[in-house]
Amino acid sequence: MRLLLALLALAAAPPRARAASHWCYQIQAKPSNYTCLEPDKWEGSCQNNRQSPVNIVTAKTQLDPNLGRFSFSGYDRKHQWTVQNNGHTVMVLLGDEASITGGGLSTRYQAKQLHLHWSRAMDRGSEHTFNGERFAMEMHIVHEKEKGPSGNQFAEDEIAVLAFMVEDGSKNVNFQPLVEALSDIPRPNMNTTMKGNVSLFDLLPKEERLRQYFRYLGSLTTPTCDEKVVWTVFQEPIQLHRDQILAFSQKLFYDHEQRVNMTDNVRPEQSLGQRQVFRSGAPGLLLSQPLPTLLASALACLTVGFLR
C-alpha cells in the first residue's frame, strides 16, 4: 500500500520537479509547453563570476608577447565527419586526430568536437562580441588538455576553445558539406555523415590570418558552465553566404515534433569582472582604434622620418 501511494505521489508531482535539470535557451522557454531552465536559471557553476561569453573591448585588451603563433597538427587531414543534432546545436565529432600547441598554451590539446551558435539575424548569432557588436554565427573548436598520469582534471585551463566569428559574405564552398548535412538531422539525437571530405583548415580563415587573437580565462557557455576554459577568440572572421547561415535556423529543430526551429542558441553576455583580456603579440595591428586615427598616426610617423 505504501508503495502504491508513493507511485501515485510521484505521478502527481508537477512537471517542474521532474524536469528541473533540463536547460534551454530563452527562445525555447517562451513557446514550449514543458518546463525548462532558461539562461538566468541555469544550474551548476553558471551563476559564478568567471563565466563566458564576454564582450571584448579591444582598446582595453593587454598585449601579451607570449601569445604567439599556434601549431596545428592534423588540421589538414580530410574526413567525412560525423555530424549530430544534440538538441542544442549541431556538433561535428572530430575523433582524436587533430591537436594544437603553441599560442601561449601550456601543453598539447586534443581536438574533440566543433559546434556553432547562430541566429536568423545577421547581427545576433555570436556569443562573444567585439566592442558590443555581434556576428551572424560563432564556431567553437573544443580541445581537451593532454594530461599525464597525475594530471589535474580541475585546472582552469583543462579545455581550450578556439572561437571564430562568422559573418555574412560570399558563398563558402568548404562549408557546404556541413550545410547539406543539416537536412539529414532535423531532430535531436540524430546523426549523419558528411557527403564530402573536409579538413578543419578548410573551415577556417587562412592560417596566416590566425596570428591575431584574444585570450582570457572563462567557462563553458552551456550548463554546467564549468570554469575551466582557456578561450582564444580570433579576430579574423569566417565568411558564409546568407543562405548558408539561414540553413541552420531553417533545417534544425530543438524538439522531436519539429515545432521550434533551432535558432538564437546564444548564451547572454556575462560580466568580465576583474578579468583581463589579452591580445596576441604576433606581427600586425589589432584595430582597437578607428582606421582614420591609425592612418593619421602612421602619416605623422612618416612625416617625422622625412624631416630628420
Residue pLDDT, tens place only, 74-115: 999 999 999 999 999 999 999 999 999 999 999 999 999 999
- What integer pLDDT is reported at residue 29 of this predicted model? 87
Determine the average pLDDT of the residues in 221-230.
Answer: 98
Q: Give the integer Cα–Cα distance in Å for 11 and 189.
A: 27
Say if 14 falls within a structural domain.
no
Confidence of residue 300 (pLDDT cuts 50, 70, 90): very low
- What integer pLDDT is reported at residue 15 of this predicted model? 37
Say if 307 falls within a structural domain.
no
- What integer pLDDT is reported at residue 20 of this predicted model? 43
Number of domains making up the chain: 1
Q: Give the integer Cα–Cα distance in Å for 180 and 196.
A: 10
Say if 176 falls within a structural domain.
yes
- What integer pLDDT is reported at residue 281 of this predicted model? 81
Contact 178, 92 (CB under 8 A): yes
Residue with cell 591575431: 212
Q: Give the integer Cα–Cα distance in Å for 257 and 187.
A: 8
Q: What is the pLDDT of residues 179-196, one digit of tens each?
A: 999 999 999 999 999 999
Task: Say if residue 124's pLDDT is above 80.
Answer: yes
Say if 26 falls within a structural domain.
no
Q: Which domain holds residue 238?
A: 48-300
For residue 131, give every residue at least 6 positions away whose Cβ sits within 8 Å of its Cβ, in sequence order, or none.
Answer: 55, 56, 57, 58, 59
Cβ atoms within 10 Å of 64's Cβ, excluding its own:
16
Say if 29 falls within a structural domain.
no
Q: Which residues on neighbouring strands pair with residue 25, listed in sequence order?
A: none
Catalytic residue among 88, 115, 128, 140: 88
Average predicted confidence (pLDDT) for the chain: 87
Task: Say if residue 292's pLDDT is above 50.
Answer: no
Say if 42 falls within a structural domain.
no
Contact 288, 277 (CB under 8 A): no
Say if 144 falls within a structural domain.
yes
Confidence of residue 1 (pLDDT cuts 50, 70, 90): very low
Task: Say if residue 298's pLDDT is above 90.
Answer: no
Range of weakest confidence among 10-19, 60-69, 273-282: 10-19
Contact 147, 173 (CB under 8 A): no
Which of the pair, 285 or 119, is modelled with greater confidence? 119
Say if 25 falls within a structural domain.
no
- What integer pLDDT is reported at residue 148 of this predicted model? 65
Q: Give the integer Cα–Cα distance in Å for 283 and 65.
A: 10
Q: What is the pLDDT of residues 227-272, one digit of tens each?
A: 999 999 999 999 999 999 999 999 999 999 999 999 999 999 999 9
Domain containing 182 — which CATH number? Answer: 3.10.200.10
- What integer pLDDT is reported at residue 285 of this predicted model? 44
Global pTM?
A: 0.85
Examine the residue annotation and report whether 143 is marked as an active-site residue of this protein. no
- What integer pLDDT is reported at residue 147 of this predicted model? 80
Cis bond upstream, residue 205 (ω within 30): no
Q: Give the integer Cα–Cα distance in Å for 1 and 248.
A: 52
- What integer pLDDT is reported at residue 151 of this predicted model? 55
